[in-house]
Amino acid sequence: MNCIICPVCGEALDKENRSLKCINGHCFDRAKEGYVNLIAGAHKKGSLIGDNRAMALSRRSFLEKGYFDALVEELISLIRERALPCPLILDICCGEGYYSHRIKEAVDCELYGFDISKEMVRLAAKRKNDCEYLVANLSRIPVRDKSVDIAFHLFAPFHEKEFSRIMKDGGTLITVVAGENHLFELKEILYDTPYKNDEKPPETEKLVIKEKRKITRRVHLSSREDINALFEMTPYYYRTSDRDKEKLSAYEELDVTVDFCIFIY
Ligand SMILES: C[S@@+](CC[C@H](N)C(=O)[O-])C[C@H]1O[C@@H](n2cnc3c(N)ncnc32)[C@H](O)[C@@H]1O
Ligand SMILES: [Zn+2]
């Protein structure tokens, strides 16, 4: 626990009963689900609430069906390849905790996950999997400098300054972005001129890309519910007109490409 720092003063946060407390008396209570909100009472901004409950639930329902399992398996291999004894792993923008949960089951490690969305973190904590889940902001990651062995960061904003601050020397940051063909069949249904993703890694000067890996699979979505859950997980959902959204309702099943680009810094 001593890698977690107080978002107000930066001192270590230690467990005290059902709270986390620093030497300056800043105290953060554990919610009944088990997570700790490190934004409440500190750097809280009304606009920074992250993904809502509906988004959290569709993400959970979709990921639990295993459609992205090839990606989880690759993450587990990447961690095992490092052969570190009980590494400290951080799931940055952890969402509802699918990836951290699977990794914690597979690897002996100390695992922390954080996200700005309380709804996401609440769902993650309900997994009761021995990971520590926190509500926190990427721009102020509540962990000590150079304390993380392996961090992963999937489909979420990049923050070079914070990432380079928290990683141990020689540590591994794994960033996953959508590959060029990711969900192309879905886009073909929705748009007249679907475009491919550009696969550009986040720009950085302080972190060095050592390797790029690709995972590409075709998955069969077997219900309208799964098609909608996937669509709702994407940024396109919020940019698509109701008229275009309607086009998907004709589909009960869909074969779709999942294409992930993994950058290892
Ligand atoms: C597309 S989701 C990916 C979630 C998870 N990594 C996954 O793949 O299932 C992006 C996540 O980033 C979180 N997020 C966005 N901005 C954030 C910030 N400034 N600090 C922390 N989390 C943030 C959102 O709440 C959301 O859960
Ligand atoms: Zn403090």
Residue nearest to atom 27 of ligand 1 (CA): 95
**Shortest-distance atom of ligand 1 to CA 233:** 1
Cα 133 from Cα 127, distance rounded (Å): 10
Q: What is the pLDDT of residue 246?
A: 87
Q: pLDDT tens digit string along 112-146? A: 999 999 999 999 999 988 999 999 999 999 999 99
With 60 as the cut, is the pLDDT of residue 47 above it?
no
Tell me the CA–centroid distance for residue 21 and ligand 2, in Å: 7
Q: What is the pLDDT of residue 58?
A: 85
DSSP 247: G
Q: Mean pLDDT lowest for which of 11-25, 109-123, 237-251?
A: 237-251
Evaluate: CB of 157 within 6 angstroms of ligand 1. Answer: yes
Tell me the CA–centroid distance for residue 115 and ligand 1, in Å: 6
Q: What percent of the chain has pLDDT over 70?
A: 95
Evaluate: CB of 138 within 6 angstroms of ligand 1. Answer: yes
Cα 81 from Cα 83, distance rounded (Å): 5
Evaluate: CB of 120 within 6 angstroms of ligand 1. Answer: yes
Q: Please name the helix (run of DSSP H) or strand (run of DSSP E) that holds residue 118, with its range, or none.
A: helix 118-125
Mean pLDDT computed over 18-40: 94
The class (CATH top level) of 14-264 is: alpha beta
Q: What is the pLDDT of residue 245?
A: 86
Residue nearest to atom 13 of ligand 1 (CA): 93
Evaluate: CB of 154 within 6 angstroms of ligand 1. Answer: yes
State the greatest distance between any 2 C-alpha atoms of the chain, in Å, as a whole number.
59
Q: What is the pLDDT of residue 46?
A: 46
CB 77 within 8 A of CB 41: no
Q: What is the pLDDT of residue 134?
A: 97
DSSP 136: -
With 70 as the cut, is the pLDDT of residue 44 above it?
no
CB 253 within 8 A of CB 221: yes
Q: What is the pLDDT of residue 41?
A: 57
**Residue 189 is which amino acid?**
I
With 60 as the cut, is the pLDDT of residue 207 above it?
yes
Q: What is the pLDDT of residue 233?
A: 86
Evaluate: CB of 115 within 6 angstroms of ligand 1. Answer: yes
CA dist 64 → 59, 101, 120, 192 (Å): 8, 11, 14, 31
pLDDT band at 74 (very low <50, low <70, confident <90, very high): very high
Tell me the CA–centroid distance for residue 13 and ligand 2, in Å: 7
Tell me the CA–centroid distance for residue 26 and ligand 2, in Å: 5
**Shortest-distance atom of ligand 1 to CA 153:** 6
**Shortest-distance atom of ligand 1 to CA 120:** 27
Tell me the CA–centroid distance for residue 116 and ligand 1, in Å: 7
Mean pLDDT of the chain: 92
With 70 as the cut, is the pLDDT of residue 50 above it?
no
Say which ligand is closest to the CA of 20.
2
Q: pLDDT tens digit string along 137-188? A: 999 999 999 999 999 999 999 999 999 999 999 999 999 999 999 999 999 9
Evaluate: CB of 3 within 6 angstroms of ligand 1. Answer: no
